């Protein structure tokens, strides 16, 4: 399993700063991984004891097209393993415990500075169900309604993430371009921007084993394809922010580490 010292070493950080991502290895025991896998399936199937009205839930598309995915809104959408996204998982005790692992605190402090309060901007399940999945085009993760940008995401594979089942593909170093579409909440690149920033239209596939974690800079260009296999591609993606961030819509964020 990845150790705190290894992941915070100078060479690891140089690699992160250069490439905009860093593979952290497996941070979960087999039992802890299994518990998260079972928990998310129970949430999808409607059998979990959780405050469903406060979960943002979206069913996956059956066409693979982003615009055909279900509505993203609060509340349960029926018993199905074909959810694409389930957000606000910090309200679940098991996922909350995982979000609060000391290594995530240390990584956040490294990015935002010692002593900075850290909050969770979003904690979400991202799924490419068996033979489904929705194509996500090249984009950055950035937001137009915040007074400062959340800079990091910790993405944990809950299944094997492979090229065939729609693992995340990144363009190494592209976080250094800065924000490409500062006024567009989707962050999706236009065809002209793709030709400019990603002329080969290919990147590095982040293939991961279940339980492996990758640290991503939010401005790193990334995309992911549909799932061409019977094996689902479940993942848990948590974005950590400076806890002093203010949103123009009055949203409040869960404090994690003071
Ligand atoms: O999990 C994935 O396939 C990528 C998710 C993504 O691009 C995002 O959350 O911005």
Residue 224 pLDDT exceeds 70 = yes
Residue 162 in any domain: the answer is yes
Residue 5 pLDDT exceeds 90 = no
Indicate if ligand 1 lies below 6 Å from the C-beta of 222.
yes
Residue 157 in any domain: the answer is yes
pLDDT confidence tier of residue 133, bands split at 50, 70 and 90: very high
Angle at 228 between CA 225 and CA 234, to 5 degrees: 65
Residue 2 pLDDT exceeds 70 = no
Residue 224 in any domain: the answer is yes
Q: For ligand 1, pick from 21, 121, 127, 136 the residue to mutate: most ligand atoms within 8 Å of CB.
A: 136
Residue 45 in any domain: the answer is yes
Indicate if ligand 1 lies below 6 Å from the C-beta of 141.
yes
Phi and psi torsions of 189, nearest 5°: -75, 145
pLDDT confidence tier of residue 100, bands split at 50, 70 and 90: very high
Residue 258 in any domain: the answer is no
Residue 187 in any domain: the answer is yes
Domain span holding position 59: 4-242
CATH number, domain at 65?
Answer: 2.60.120.620
pLDDT digits (tens, 9 = 90+) for 176-188: 999 999 888 777 9
Total domains in the chain come to 1
Residue 252 in any domain: the answer is no
Residue 247 in any domain: the answer is no
Structure tokens at 231: 């094996």
């Amino acid at each position: 399993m990845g150790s705190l010292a290894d992941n915070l070493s100078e060479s690891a950080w140089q690699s992160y700063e250069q490439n905009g991502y860093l593979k952290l290895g497996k941070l979960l025991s087999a039992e802890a991984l299994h518990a998260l896998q079972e928990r998310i399936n129970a949430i999808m199937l409607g059998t979990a004891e959780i405050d469903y009205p406060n979960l943002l839930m979206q069913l996956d598309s059956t066409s693979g097209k982003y615009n055909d995915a279900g509505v993203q809104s609060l509340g349960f959408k029926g018993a199905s393993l074909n959810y694409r996204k389930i957000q606000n998982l910090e309200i679940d005790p098991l996922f909350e415990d995982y979000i609060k692992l000391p290594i995530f605190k240390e990584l956040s402090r490294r990015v935002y500075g010692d002593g900075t309060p850290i909050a969770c901007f979003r904690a979400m399940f991202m799924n490419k169900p068996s033979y489904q999945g929705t194509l996500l085009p090249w984009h950055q993760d950035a937001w137009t309604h915040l007074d400062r940008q959340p800079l990091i995401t910790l993405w944990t594979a809950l299944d094997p993430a492979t090229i065939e089942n729609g693992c995340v593909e990144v363009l190494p170093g592209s976080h250094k371009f800065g924000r490409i579409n500062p006024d567009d909440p989707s962050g999706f690149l236009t065809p002209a921007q793709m030709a400019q920033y990603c002329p080969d239209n290919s990147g590095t596939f982040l293939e991961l084993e279940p339980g492996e974690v990758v640290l991503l800079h939010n401005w790193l260009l990334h995309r992911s394809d549909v799932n061409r296999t019977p094996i689902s591609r479940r993942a848990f993606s948590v974005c950590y922010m400076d806890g002093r961030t203010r949103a123009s819509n009055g949203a409040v964020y869960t404090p994690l580490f003071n």
